[in-house]
Amino acid sequence: MHPQAASTTAGGHSHGSTPLLPLALIVSLFFLWGVANNLNDVLVAQFKKAFTLSDFQAALVQSAFYLGYFIVALPAGAYMRRYGYKSAVIFGLCLYGVGALLFWPAAAYATYAMFLAALFVIACGLAFLETSANPYVTLLGPASSAAARLNLAQAFNPLGSITGVLIGQQFIFTGVEHTPQELAAMSAGAHEAFMKSEAAAVQLPYLVIGLGVIAWAGVIWLTRFPSVAHREDGVPAPRGVLKRLLRDGRLLGAIAAQFFYVGAQVAVFSHMIRYTQATMPGTSAKSAAGFVTAGLVFFMAGRFAGAALMKHLKASRVLALFALANVLLMAVAAFIAGRPGIYALVASSFFMSVMYPTIFALGVEGKGDDERKFAAALLVMAIIGGAVLTAAMGVASDCVGIAHAMLVPAVCFVAIFLFAQQHWQRAVAGVTA
């Protein structure tokens, strides 16, 4: 039987072999949104220079981006339920591509607000991709290998993140750095020309990304995918599921933990270049971006190490230990600025690596199909933490300096530790009972 014509169960899982081409196309999405997410870390530094922004204003890059996730997560889930996984993927890619193409006029007019609007459109597209791609991967093949397929797909996300930083480092950062005194000494015309040239540096990379993503949507549209049901029982969701979930203390705890985790991760990566330049004067943005790349390598390594640890320890226990390690590393970054602090931030990536999927899994644990789908959408909405807490860290940096601002993610990791500890204690109590 042709793999794309394999029969499916009511839940959408194939009885036959895994359709390799459709699976490869969907797995590629994890890479593509990793590129977009971590290019933002470069944009924070680039726009701060191009538009002479405060740390708070520069952090609005992440606020605009993650606001898109928050607003669109539930509508994306509703779209997917009505039109199917493949349609949601194509629509998400088109939004992603259009948002990237909007960088060209935004740079031409050198308008920060237009860049923020373009980032919002990209994020709306990624919300569709994240809401649909994760469950779709589990359905493209036998149920027995669903977890293995999803783990394979997730491995491509940090590869995309590393690629995004490298694109920014090589093709966006110009290497031209001016001190505030040098900028003040420039004529109005020279200053405006400098700002426009820095803003224009993003045009070509995002043009290529936008055209590539739209082309990828076309490839997926032309590819025949196996027919999968996106409801296990083929009937509408029972009434009151959302209301019931909002009274579930364990899920609410997971949503809060996810809010703090995404906020901490985005805040650390967004301000790592700024922290490096502020605590090691004379370091160029291009050189500082190397620490972001190193952090992403540690992030990928942490995923494998965390998965190995979870074979011997409960997931909630590993989460608690990793969160505690990051509280200590943030304290080092806050109070021992310079090279030790930078190394602490890079090391923190290792311990952040397992947090998102572990919190996600603990949040949907033990839930039926309909509850799981709605709970997943609520957990994706918690990504708004990247908008709120990155901006909060920008305010803290403007007030007390970038080093002491690292206490903001430290508090976030304390909250994650408390969630994990509470979950672990419940699990132990359940076993002893």
Tell me the pLDDT tens digit for each residue of 206-247. Answer: 999 999 999 999 999 999 888 765 444 444 455 577 677 777
Do residues 44 and 62 make contact, with C-beta atoms less than 8 angstroms apart? yes
Positive or negative torsion for Cα 41, 47, 53, 57: negative
CA pair distance 66, 117, nearest whole angstrom:
12
Tell me the pLDDT tens digit for each residue of 82-92. Answer: 888 899 999 99
**What residues have CB less than 8 Å from 186, skipping those under 6 apart?**
178, 194
**What residues have CB less than 8 Å from 43, skipping those under 6 apart?**
61, 115, 119, 168, 172, 202
Residue showing tokens 């074979």: 311
pLDDT of residue 248: 77
Query: What is the CA 217 to chain-centroid distance, rounded?
Result: 21
Full 3-state SS string of 41-102: HHHHHHHHHHCCCCHHHHHHHHHHHHHHHHHHHHHHHHHHHHHCHHHHHHHHHHHHHHHHHC
pLDDT of residue 135: 72
pLDDT of residue 9: 40
CA-to-CA dists, residue 411 to 41, 263, 342, angstroms:
21, 11, 19
pLDDT of residue 4: 35
Rg (CA), the chain: 22
Q: Taking phi first (over 0 means left), then psi (-120 to 50 degrees means alpha), and beta for anything else, what does residue 230 get?
A: alpha
| Tokens matching residue 8 | 């499916």
Residue showing tokens 């509280």: 327
Q: What's this model's pTM, rounded to 2 decimal places? A: 0.77
Do residues 33 and 356 make contact, with C-beta atoms less than 8 angstroms apart? no
pLDDT of residue 234: 44
pLDDT of residue 74: 83
CA pair distance 408, 424, nearest whole angstrom:
25
Closest alpha carbon to 257 in 421, 387, 53: 421
**Residues in the chain with pLDDT values less than 70:** 1-18, 138, 143-151, 228-239, 242, 367-370, 372-373, 427-433
Question: For residue 14, what are the β-bridge partners?
Answer: 8
Question: For residue 8, what are the β-bridge partners?
Answer: 14
